[in-house]
């Protein structure tokens, strides 16, 4: 099924920027790069090995993942420092698989679907229920705790047209004001222009679009200009960057690997790369 399939949630009009096209452990990717799950994985394609060989693997970098949670018993992520449920379900376990996949793209140590920064400190923020529901107040509490714990990088593989949710928008500004690099999926509402999702459309957020393995913009990837600022006289070109977001390999819920597509897949690719690069910078110079 090549249609963009969204996981609709309740936070005003927010939805996961997510397009699930495949679910397999051994997909063969038909592309000019001939990438598949056995002869070349995404970290290898983007030359993560160069830094791995120099012993830079994400060590000392705190990465927060706001998503559907992660299983405490899953040993495929080496350093889950903390997993907190911010919903009303009092359970940090992932039952949907979205959070597990996103976390794996960033930091998996599974040899069949490696992440970019396997030694990064991972902080799991479960902000969606099993019914894919979330509220602004849950995000605001989670944002405050991320600031308190001095998170370095925040991945938001979510998005929606809720730019008028000012408490949320302003809290995102506060995150970047506290030296947190915020990375967010630009949305799956392409190919029409003016379809950018919030918060990826904000100036201080790295908005990530998707490309396929032939380096072509994915048809589902949202694109600018931003529209909600136009009454004040200007729009903004977005996304800021594109990354592989089609048939990307990551962790399947509980065991094994799978491929998924969407800008919510491209976002953790960028987050993982930033975490890896940041770990190569001397600690006293990172801020």
Contact status, residue 232 vs residue 204, Cβ threshold 8 Å: no
User: From the CB of residue 174, how many other CB atoms can be counted at a distance below 10 Å?
Assistant: 14
- Nearest Cα residue to 209 out of 256, 247, 180, 241: 241
Rounded to 5°, the CA angle 136-81-42 comes to 85
Cα separation, 134 vs 143, in Å, equals: 14
- Beta strand pairing call for 158-159 and 15-16: antiparallel
- Nearest Cα residue to 223 out of 247, 191, 246: 191
Catalytic pick from 67, 85, 121, 162? 67
**Cα diameter, the chain:** 51
Q: What is the CA radius of gyration of the chain?
A: 17
Query: Residue 49 catalytic?
Result: no
Rounded to 5°, the CA angle 267-273-279 comes to 135
Catalytic pick from 92, 108, 184, 264? 264
Catalytic pick from 98, 162, 184, 267? 98
Query: Residue 38 catalytic?
Result: no
State yes or no: cis peptide before 281, omega within 30 of 0.
Answer: no
Active site residues: 67, 98, 264
């Amino acid at each position: 099924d090549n249609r963009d399939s969204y996981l609709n949630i309740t936070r005003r009009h927010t939805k996961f920027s997510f397009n699930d096209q495949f679910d397999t452990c051994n997909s063969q990717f038909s592309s000019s790069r001939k990438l598949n799950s056995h002869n070349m994985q995404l970290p290898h394609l983007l030359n993560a090995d160069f830094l791995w060989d120099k012993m830079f693997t994400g060590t000392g970098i705190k990465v927060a993942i706001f998503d559907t949670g992660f299983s405490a018993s899953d040993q495929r992520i080496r350093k889950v420092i903390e997993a907190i449920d911010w919903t009303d379900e009092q359970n940090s376990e992932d039952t949907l698989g979205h959070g597990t996949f996103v976390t794996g793209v960033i930091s998996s140590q599974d040899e069949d679907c490696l992440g970019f920064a396997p030694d990064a400190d991972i902080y799991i923020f479960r902000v969606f229920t099993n019914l894919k529901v979330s509220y602004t107040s849950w995000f605001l509490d989670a944002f405050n705790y991320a600031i308190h714990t001095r998170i370095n990088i925040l991945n938001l593989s979510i998005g929606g047209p809720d730019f008028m949710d000012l408490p949320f928008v302003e809290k995102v500004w506060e995150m970047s004001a506290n030296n947190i690099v915020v990375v967010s999926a630009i949305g799956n509402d392409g190919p029409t222009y003016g379809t950018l999702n919030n918060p990826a459309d904000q100036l201080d957020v790295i908005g990530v679009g998707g490309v396929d393995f032939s380096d072509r913009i994915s048809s589902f990837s949202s694109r600018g200009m931003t529209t909600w600022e136009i009454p004040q006289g200007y729009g903004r070109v977005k996304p800021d960057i594109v990354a592989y977001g089609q048939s990307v390999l990551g962790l399947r819920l509980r065991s094994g690997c799978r491929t998924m597509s969407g800008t919510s897949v491209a976002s953790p690719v960028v987050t993982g790369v930033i975490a890896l690069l940041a770990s190569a910078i001397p600690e006293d110079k990172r801020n």
